[in-house]
Structure 1
Amino acid sequence: MSDPAREDMYSYVQSIFQRGLVVVVGSGASCALGLPGMQALAEYLVAEVPVRTSDLPPESMASWRVVAEALDAGKGLEETLLTVSVPDDLALVVTEAVADCVLAAEQRAIAGILTDADDFGVREVVALCPPGNSFSGRSNNQL
């Protein structure tokens, strides 16, 4: 990472912490709240990407078949996407599918938190934030 990019990143992170109470949760919290892990994302992608790729050129479809075969053979999602070269159009489809899957899970988690179905203690942490101060929640993937 270049020095200007690193400085921008550090400034962004500092700005988050200057806003008030910040709760940073790791992947354990994500799992507890029902967000999909890599295996669930891989299964979702194997089912969803073919539905979204009807307009892609044959080369992109061939790349997806290599990815899907690796996943079906038990290779991990992250390892597969780091080792199989995918064209930009396919990468966009995969990115959008992952975003849709995670967004749906986040919406369910937030609904659970807001409707008292959450047993995770998020409301109790938010209650610690003094009135008039801001609260910011971040996962380890958002920093």
Structure 2
Amino acid sequence: MKLEHIALWAADLEKLREFYEQFFDAESNAKYFNARKQFTSYFLTFPGGARLELMHRPDIPPNQNQPREQYLGLIHFAFELESKAGVAAKAEQLRAAGIPIIDGPRITGDGYFEFTLLDPELNRVEVMCKNS
């Protein structure tokens, strides 16, 4: 069994799609639109096969969570890179582009080298590698 995809509601579907294409090598399918439900979505596929569904509907209210606080439920998803140098380089690329890094890069107590960023919709995304 494998996790097939994670889905996110988005206020700005195009901006979020472009972010993951530009910084995480996502490949998008064609936009899907259901006029009756006013539902629009993309499936993004990442190297390695993981997928992320980006969805938009005009009646979905904004998330009330504060992105720098902790809450029950889904708090982040992570991308694994091959090396500490790759993680550090990705952090610098994102910082240079004005993307907020809210934690790290750092070595964790359980043996990872990682940092956490906020995507354009303020979802937490972790970039990590095994610290070996």
TM-score range, shorter chain: under 0.3
What is the TM-score when the length of structure 2 is the normalising length? Answer: 0.22
Larger Rg: 1
Higher-strand-fraction structure: 2
Q: Which has the higher contact order (CA 8 A, sep 6+)?
A: 1
Higher-helix-fraction structure: 1
